[in-house]
Amino acid sequence: MSASDFPSGVELEDVYLVEAMYLPGAAERRATVRGPHLSRIAELKAAGTIIEAGAFRDVSSSILIVRAEDEAAAVAIAQADVYVTAGVWGEITARLFGRVKT
């Protein structure tokens, strides 16, 4: 589908969907670093780098939708989080995602 096929006022923005998998025992370890983690998420949202962020309630993984130059840069945003150094997040992947804008 090309941009000319979209209804008036609708466009796609290329962003990345990042998934950060929780490591075993993450629910216990994240409590001590959750404040700094959430502060960083809020700062990156205010800067427009992160569009949306949240975690599955079953503590399996977190999802970030981010603006980044490429997949590696998208992964790097998550890898720089305190959740990585604290052993909360393990494997981090990113996929190109077409965000609908109106």
What SS3 state is found at 83? helix
**Higher per-residue pLDDT: 77 or 1:** 77
- Report pLDDT digits (tens) over 90-102: 999 999 999 998 7
What pLDDT does 16 receive? 98
Residue 4 counted as domain residue: no
Chain centroid to Cα 74, Å, comes to 8
Residue 63 counted as domain residue: yes
Report the domain count for the chain: 1
Residue 39 counted as domain residue: yes
| Cα–Cα distance list, 49 to 43, 73, 74, 94 (Å) | 9, 11, 10, 14
Residue 20 counted as domain residue: yes
What SS3 state is found at 19? strand
pTM: 0.90
What is the Cα–Cα distance from 96 to 38, expressed in whole angstroms? 24
Residue 1 counted as domain residue: no
Q: Look up the domain containing 78 and give its range.
A: 10-101
Residue 54 counted as domain residue: yes
Residue 3 counted as domain residue: no
CATH assignment at residue 24: 3.30.70.1060
